[in-house]
């Protein structure tokens, strides 16, 4: 695994030459560092929390995982305002390749925008690739007047995935997601292609993948999400297509 430092461009450096793309042993994967970036912004200010590779753990030669150890407060460094809180977080990145992650955030005293980038991963070229993305979002009222989460991705969606340096794959979970009842929660899920465990052909060789969340949470309310993006063939990834179900345990229950 080769690490791409933060100072480099967002797009990973692909280490597989076309002449040896079929020789898997001659290539290596390349992951962004930091692999996860959380940003919260509102009329109160802006703050960012970056997770480095050193903050996580390599549980195998090709699999990196991270779990948030403690609640993180997004505080604007210019004015000291508390913008939002990150209460839970997790990520699973595998060279097979798989990008997966989950989170729970709480908006501050005003409506708050969140951007959550979960990895940019380059990998040995896969010829004839199939892909699948799935995600879920829960919004929970925190002040007794209902809650709303609104997507900021294309078409008002919340979870975006791409491959090969910016080719769009899927924009999932259309919003807004509204919970009208005091202290209640509302959940939505989405997948592409439709049907549990289904994959769709990309039509071109694949060598990079990227995932990102963008959404707005109403003041004092919470949002929890999970997302999984998988490209095959690779035997070890097929069982991970439903990893979002397991990551759903990150959602804070009331």
What is the helix (H) or strand (E) element at residue 207, kind and residue range? strand 206-217
Look at residue 234 and tell me whether its pLDDT is greater than 50.
no
With a cut of 70, say whether residue 243 has pLDDT above it.
no
How far apart CA 86 and CA 217 sit, in angstroms, is 13
Percent of the chain with pLDDT over 90: 75
Please report which confidence band the pLDDT of residue 184 belongs to, taking 50, 70 and 90 as the band edges.
very high
**Taking a C-beta distance cutoff of 8 angstroms, is the pair 31, 12 a contact?**
yes
* Mean pLDDT of the region 90-107: 95
> pTM, whole model, 2 decimals?
0.82
Residue 16's pLDDT is 25
Residue 5 has pLDDT above 70, yes or no: no
The answer to whether 159 touches 191, Cβ cutoff 8 Å, is no
Phi-psi region of 74 (alpha: psi -120 to 50; beta: other; left: phi over 0): beta
């Amino acid at each position: 695994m080769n690490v791409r430092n933060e100072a480099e461009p967002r797009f990973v450096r692909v280490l597989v030459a076309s002449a040896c793309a079929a020789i898997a042993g001659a290539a290596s994967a390349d992951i962004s560092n930091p692999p996860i970036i959380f940003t919260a912004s509102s009329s109160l200010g802006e703050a960012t929390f970056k997770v480095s590779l050193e903050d996580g753990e390599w549980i195998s030669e090709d699999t990196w995982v991270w779990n948030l150890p403690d609640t993180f407060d997004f505080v604007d460094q210019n004015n000291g305002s508390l913008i939002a809180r990150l209460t839970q977080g997790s990520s699973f990145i595998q060279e097979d390749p798989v990008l997966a992650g989950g989170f729970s955030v709480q908006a501050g005293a005003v409506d708050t925008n969140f951007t959550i980038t979960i990895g940019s991963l380059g990998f040995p070229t896969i010829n004839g690739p199939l892909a699948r993305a799935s995600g879920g979002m829960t919004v929970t009222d925190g002040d007794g007047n209902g809650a709303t989460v609104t997507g900021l991705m294309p078409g008002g969606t919340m979870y975006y995935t791409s491959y090969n340096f910016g080719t769009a794959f899927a924009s999932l979970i259309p919003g807004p997601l509204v919970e009208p009842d005091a202290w209640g929660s509302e959940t939505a899920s989405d997948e592409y292609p439709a049907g549990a465990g289904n994959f769709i052909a990309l039509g071109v060789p694949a060598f990079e993948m990227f995932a990102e969340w963008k959404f707005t949470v109403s003041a004092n309310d919470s949002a929890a999400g999970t997302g999984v993006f998988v490209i095959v063939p690779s035997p070890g990834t097929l069982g991970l297509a439903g990893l979002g179900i397991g990551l759903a345990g990150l959602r804070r229950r009331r």
